[in-house]
């Protein structure tokens, strides 16, 4: 089955999970697409089986809280930021719910966390106006960049370069092997007066960069030229939430949640809105992601929804 506009319009909620008592703040599919991990403000981590559509395991992080959960390359380990005690990033064995390592250095809330697609390095960015580069095998920071404002960051699909969005106005591209030399490209963007950049993702084909905000706007940028391609609007965000926006695996579509519980979808090439999907979410949909391998989508408020295309009989 190929993802077309018609298929996207036929997506329906196939299953709703009510495992959480508070907002689901982040989620991540495994690279195989077989499982989905989520973190919530209720301090729980839940792993879902995507093929059977069932919750598989629940782990708790009552002491430190949990946000920005990300799978590493081994599906039995994950990294996450903390919401209590301090701003340490924690490396967790999901198999026995024990911490393998702590990554200390940030002095304020970590707002961006991304795992390299190819190896054990990862990036973190914080409200302390810094981006740090880490390796899972070592507790010490491998690289540090001090910035003039709040950062967002993302690896490209090859894992060779990373993009950093600085102070919601400039986009810088770094070569991972020599990032201490500074960016090899800097693009100035139109500044959004009434919102901050809160998320950044490369498209799976590496050609586009998606910038999500805590306002009413999502921007699509050419990853090579830094030129704005599309601006997506229409999704509601009247609460200043960092609503996630995500690509489909073929880079054709962008999905975003909305504070009224709906899911908006746009075409990356034409910029037109494909559909507004009515979910069963009663609260703001902060997380939405498409499965990298299977024809399914997940969205979350305090409940988790799995979406499948409705096949016409």
CATH, residue 46: 2.130.10.10
Q: What is the pLDDT of residues 66-110, one digit of tens each?
A: 889 999 998 899 999 888 778 889 999 999 999 999 999 999 999
CA 187 to CA 171: how far, in whole Å? Answer: 5
Q: How would you classify the pairing of strands 24-29 and 35-40?
A: antiparallel
The length of the chain in residues reads 313
Indicate the number of domains in the chain: 1
User: What's the whole-model pTM score?
Assistant: 0.93
CA 254 to CA 266: how far, in whole Å? Answer: 5
The whole domain housing 104 covers 5-309
Q: Which of 169, 172, 175, 100 is nearest to 133 (CA)?
A: 175
The alpha carbon of 82 is separated from its chain's Cα centroid by a whole number of angstroms, namely 16
CA 154 to CA 244: how far, in whole Å? Answer: 14
Q: What is the pLDDT of residues 6-52, one digit of tens each?
A: 999 999 999 999 999 999 999 999 999 999 999 999 999 999 999 99
Say how many CA atoms lie within 13 Å of 284 toward its Cβ: 16
Model confidence at 1: pLDDT above 70: yes
CA 93 to CA 303: how far, in whole Å? Answer: 25
The average confidence (pLDDT) of the chain is 92
**What backbone phi and psi angles, to 5 degrees, belong to 232?**
-100, 130
CA 91 to CA 89: how far, in whole Å? Answer: 7
Q: What is the pLDDT of residues 162-215, one digit of tens each?
A: 999 988 889 999 998 888 888 999 999 877 778 889 999 999 999 999 999 998
């Amino acid at each position: 089955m190929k993802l077309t506009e018609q298929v996207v319009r036929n997506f329906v909620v196939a299953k709703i999970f009510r495992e959480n008592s508070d907002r689901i703040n982040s989620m991540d599919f495994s690279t195989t697409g077989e499982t989905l991990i989520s973190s919530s403000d209720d301090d729980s981590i839940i792993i879902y089986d995507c093929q059977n559509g069932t919750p598989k395991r629940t782990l708790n992080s009552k002491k430190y809280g949990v946000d920005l959960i990300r799978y590493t390359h081994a599906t039995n380990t994950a990294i996450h930021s903390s919401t209590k005690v301090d701003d340490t990033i924690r490396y967790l064995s999901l198999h026995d719910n024990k911490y393998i390592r702590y990554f200390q250095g940030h002095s304020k809330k970590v707002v961006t966390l991304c795992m390299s697609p190819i190896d054990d390095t990862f990036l973190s960015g914080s409200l302390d106006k810094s981006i740090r580069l880490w390796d899972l095998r070592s507790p010490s920071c491998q690289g540090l960049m001090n910035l003039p404002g709040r950062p967002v960051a993302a690896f490209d699909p090859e894992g060779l370069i990373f993009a950093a969005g600085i102070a919601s106005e400039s986009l810088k591209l770094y070569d991972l092997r020599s990032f201490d030399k500074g960016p090899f490209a800097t693009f100035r963007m139109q500044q959004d007066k009434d919102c901050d950049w809160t998320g950044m993702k490369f498209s799976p084909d590496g050609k586009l960069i998606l910038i999500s905000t805590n306002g009413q706007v999502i921007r699509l940028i050419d990853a090579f030229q830094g030129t704005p391609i599309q601006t997506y609007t229409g999704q509601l965000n009247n609460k200043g939430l960092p609503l996630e926006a995500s690509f489909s695996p073929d880079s054709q579509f962008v999905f975003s949640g909305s504070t009224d519980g709906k899911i908006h979808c746009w075409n990356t090439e034409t910029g037109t809105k494909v559909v507004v999907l009515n979910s069963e979410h009663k609260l703001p949909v902060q997380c939405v992601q498409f499965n990298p391998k299977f024809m399914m989508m997940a969205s979350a408020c305090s409940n988790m929804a799995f979406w499948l295309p409705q096949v016409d009989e």
